[in-house]
Amino acid sequence: MDIKEYIASPEISVLDAMQAINSNARGVIYICDDNRLLGVVTDGNIRRHILSNGALDINISEIMNTTPKVIKQSDDVDCYRYMEENNITSVPIVNSKGNVITIKFLNAETAYRSSDLHIPVVIMAGGKGTRLSPYTDVLPKPLIPVGNETITELIISRFQKFGCNEFNMIVNYKRNLIKAFFSEADKSSNIKFTDEENFLGTAGGLKLIESDYKSTFFLTNCDILVEADYGDILEYHKINKNILTMVCAAKKVEIPYGTIELNSEGNIVKLEEKPSFSFMANTGFYVIEPEFIKYIPENTFVHITEIIEKCIDMGERIGMYPISENAWFDMGQMGELERMKRYLEKM
């Protein structure tokens, strides 16, 4: 869904706001100044205004709620539970500047800013997927079904929503099965395959496509879904002039035991019951400049984290774009695969 249907200027009239709410059929619009959230107006706000003999030609900013419920982009919050707990049917996700980047609805739909990115997408699809054995003993990981579609189809579909239609899959393990699946007419659109003859890790395969890309491209693992505004990710990458931007999810891990801390003499000096730790986790989703590939050695098994560390040592700009834990689905683990299925069923 296009986020423009749910955003309005503070200068529109109450009547225009009422028409916008009727048009989007969601009972709400968010009032923004150049995408910066100022307030929210519901059909109930307008109804009460009319019943109190309020004028229909005044600016909507005069009756909007200036303290709307929001979720920050980096918050570790289940947005659907948040809406249920706060008795609301939608909630905007805002970045550190207060700009609306997405709007979540209680029925699991999401509205994004309209984007026509035309940015190529590289999908790392060559691994064995050992964490998903025995499924991957039969099928390559990119063809594991999640609901009615394969994980790779879901990934491609997400990118297509943002105007990305050029895909390159780096394949190795059971690659003939992958190629055969996508050779069907309705699945083969704009998908190119690059054969990785030897296993080269999460970065080595990129060296094979060094001559194919002269401008920015997206890179994603073939076992993840990221529910975020890809246009905003790209904009952040460009503004900060990064050679690579890593999309990271806020994670919180609770130790299910009481822990102790000892001094040098072996005496307990501190006890803590079920401590929790927060950190930012690499999702496996990146925005990359072609210059990054020059740091990858040829015909070498190497992980992308090693190349990122090399870039940092060389003074290159490496950025991090934060998302919430609930916006990241990692199919590479059985438990996460089931969570992804439940999410897609809800949608």
Domain residue extents for the chain:
3-112, 121-346
* Cβ neighbour number for residue 272 with a 10 Å cutoff: 12
Three-state SS for 337? helix
Tell me the pLDDT of the chain (347 aa) as tens digits: 788 899 999 999 998 998 888 788 888 999 999 889 999 999 889 888 887 888 888 999 999 999 999 999 878 788 888 998 998 989 999 988 899 989 999 876 777 766 788 999 999 998 887 777 777 788 888 898 887 889 999 999 999 989 999 999 999 999 999 999 988 756 656 899 999 999 999 999 999 999 999 999 999 999 899 988 898 899 889 999 999 999 988 777 888 889 999 988 889 999 988 887 777 889 999 999 999 999 999 999 999 999 999 999 999 999 998 887 778 888 866 677 777 777 776 65
pLDDT of residue 142: 87
Answer whether 261's CB lies under 8 Å from 269's CB.
Answer: yes
Rounded distance between C-alpha atoms, residue 79 and residue 94, angstroms: 12
pLDDT of residue 52: 86
pLDDT of residue 346: 64
Rounded distance between C-alpha atoms, residue 31 and residue 65, angstroms: 9
DSSP state of 199: -
Q: Which residue has the tokens 């100022």?
A: 38
Rounded distance between C-alpha atoms, residue 102 and residue 2, angstroms: 9
Answer whether 205's CB lies under 8 Å from 168's CB.
Answer: no
Answer whether 117's CB lies under 8 Å from 131's CB.
Answer: no
- Phi first, then psi, for residue 29 (nearest 5°) are -140, 150
CATH class of 3-112: alpha beta
- Phi first, then psi, for residue 140 (nearest 5°) are -70, 150
If phi > 0 it is left, if psi is from -120 to 50 it is alpha, else beta; for residue 91 that is beta
Of 250, 227, 223, 236, nearest to 159 by C-alpha is 227
Task: Write down the architecture of domain 121-346 according to CATH.
Answer: Alpha-Beta Complex (3.90)
Rounded distance between C-alpha atoms, residue 232 and residue 238, angstroms: 10
Q: Which residue has the tokens 């996508």?
A: 182
Residues whose CB is less than 8 angstroms from the CB of residue 338 and which lie 6 or more positions away in sequence, other chains included: none
pLDDT of residue 69: 93
pLDDT of residue 159: 94
If phi > 0 it is left, if psi is from -120 to 50 it is alpha, else beta; for residue 90 that is beta
* Cβ neighbour number for residue 214 with a 10 Å cutoff: 7
Rounded distance between C-alpha atoms, residue 36 and residue 101, angstroms: 9
pLDDT of residue 312: 97
Rounded distance between C-alpha atoms, residue 284 and residue 330, angstroms: 9
- According to DSSP, the residues that pair with 105 across neighbouring strands are 90
pLDDT of residue 56: 87
pLDDT of residue 70: 95
* Amino acid sitting at position 76: D
